[in-house]
């Protein structure tokens, strides 16, 4: 899955460092109301699927100093993910 490359203002829980990066779904965590909406005291429904996405560190960071298999796991809402 690839993380959308978008940079809106507002309460976003997809960290800057994974935007545009590709990883694999490690698990579906469940469905949850959308925090981007909850942040404005709106209900954030319908609940969105939330995934744990696993990225290889060397795919995320230029010049990553560590193991080639080292990973970073991030929870990302479905609307931030594109299949690829």
Partner 1 sequence: MSTYRGVHDIGGLPGGEIVPSEHDYALWEKRVDALMVILSRKNLLTVDELRRNIESLGADAYDKMGYYERWIYAITQTLIQRGVISIDELGGRIAQVQARTDDAN
Partner 2 sequence: MSDHHHEEGVPHRHPNRPDQDDTLTYWRAMEIAVRELLIEKQVTSPDEVRTEVEAMDDRTPAHGGRVVARAWTDPAYRRLLLEDGNTACEQVGLERGLYKLVAVENTEKVHNVVVCTLCSCYPRFLLGLPPDWYKSRSYRSRVINSPREVLREFGTVVEDDVVVRVHDSTADMRYLVVPKRPAGTEGWSETQLAELVTRDAMIGVSFAREP
Q: Which stretch binds partner 1 (CB under 8 A): 4-12, 21-29, 48-56, 76-84?
A: 4-12
Tokens of 76: 């990302």
Residue given tokens 């996405």 in the structure block: 53
Which residue, among 6, 3, 10, has the nearest Cα to 75 in the 3D structure? 3
Q: Does 14 bind partner 2 (CB under 8 A)?
A: yes
Residue 21 touches partner 2, criterion: CB under 8 A: no
For residue 74, the SS3 value is strand
Query: Which of positions 53-72 make contact with partner 1 (CB under 8 A)?
Result: 61
Residue 3 is a binding residue for partner 2 (CB under 8 A): no
């Amino acid at each position: 899955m690839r993380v959308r490359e978008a940079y809106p203002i507002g309460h976003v829980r997809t960290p800057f460092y994974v935007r545009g990066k590709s990883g694999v779904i490690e698990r579906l965590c469940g469905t949850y109301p959308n925090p981007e909406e909850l942040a404005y005291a709106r209900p954030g429904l319908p609940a969105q699927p939330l995934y744990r996405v696993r990225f290889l560190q060397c795919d995320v960071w230029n010049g990553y100093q560590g193991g080639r298999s080292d990973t970073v796991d991030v929870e990302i809402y479905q609307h931030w993910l594109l299949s690829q």
